[in-house]
């Protein structure tokens, strides 16, 4: 199950997992975008499911998990990717800017993990992969977003301790600057400046993040939990935001 799977990094992750042989539930709140995203992949019957759901609403996610279980099987891998940003300097930030980002980016973890954990505990196996951001280290104009992504890491570490003795791992991926619809909306000069700020000299792709997700989903990572993996071209070592 991949949340925020209608576009951007979430879609790239879901697509990669599907091509690697996983049956994938694509979760998003936009039904039109979600249906189009799933249909465009041409997945075999029984391999992909479009689940329209609000990741911050417990009943909505419970229905999504039930639909997935009845169609594809028990959710054994959850990728919490859905999130929003409302970038502004703190003194220009509205209450809604703060509340929306904190609400979506943190409550979704609580709601989605709680929805899948009972079945994972029953089968004593599960992989939870939460998408944070290099921005948790701090970015100008992102006090709300950075705070929410720092919470993702703290949440993951705590949940890893709660589930470690039950065959469940909880890990975090912290992407840097990636080629997403949001990135492509920036002015070309800003895109170029951001790319130059990456030590490796390029922005990342959805496939870069998907490769890290695949690793954490696989049995090869069964002895790794509570960890954060940066997928940022070295920017966590050297970069401030531009």
Active-site residue numbers? 145
Closest CA to 175 of 214, 140, 149: 149
- Closest to 239 in 3D by CA, of 196, 209, 204, 206: 196
In the numeric block, the tokens 């300097």 are attached to: 89
Whether residue 216 contacts residue 23, with contact meaning beta carbons closer than 8 Å, is answered with no
126-131 vs 48-52, strand pairing mode: unpaired
Are 161 and 117 in contact by the 8 Å Cβ rule? The answer is: no
3-state secondary structure of 129: strand
Measure Cα distances from 9 to 57, 60, 98, 99, 124 in Å. 22, 22, 23, 23, 29
Task: Quote the CA–CA distance of 164 and 97 in Å, as a whole number.
Answer: 35
């Amino acid at each position: 199950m991949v949340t925020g799977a209608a576009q951007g990094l979430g879609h790239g992750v879901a697509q990669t997992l599907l091509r690697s042989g996983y049956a994938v539930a694509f979760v998003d709140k936009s039904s039109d975008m979600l249906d189009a995203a799933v249909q465009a992949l041409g997945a075999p019957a029984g391999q992909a499911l479009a689940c329209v759901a609000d990741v911050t609403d417990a009943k909505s996610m419970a229905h999504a998990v039930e639909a997935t279980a009845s169609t594809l099987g028990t959710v054994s891998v959850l990728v919490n990717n859905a999130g929003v940003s409302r970038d502004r300097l703190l003194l220009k930030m509205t209450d809604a800017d703060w509340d929306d980002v904190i609400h979506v980016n943190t409550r979704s973890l609580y709601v989605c993990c709680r929805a899948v954990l009972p079945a994972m505990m029953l089968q004593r196996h599960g992989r939870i992969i939460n998408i944070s951001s290099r921005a948790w280290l701090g970015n100008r104009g992102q006090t709300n977003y950075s705070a929410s992504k720092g919470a993702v890491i703290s949440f993951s570490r705590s949940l890893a301790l709660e589930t470690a003795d039950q065959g469940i791992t909880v890990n975090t991926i912290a992407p840097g600057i990636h080629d997403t619809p949001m990135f492509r909306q920036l002015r070309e000069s800003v895109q170029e400046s951001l790319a130059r700020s990456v030590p490796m000299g390029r922005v990342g792709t959805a496939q870069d993040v998907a490769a890290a997700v695949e690793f954490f989903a696989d049995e090869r990572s069964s002895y790794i939990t509570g960890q954060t993996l940066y997928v940022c071209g070295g920017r966590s070592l050297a970069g401030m935001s531009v």
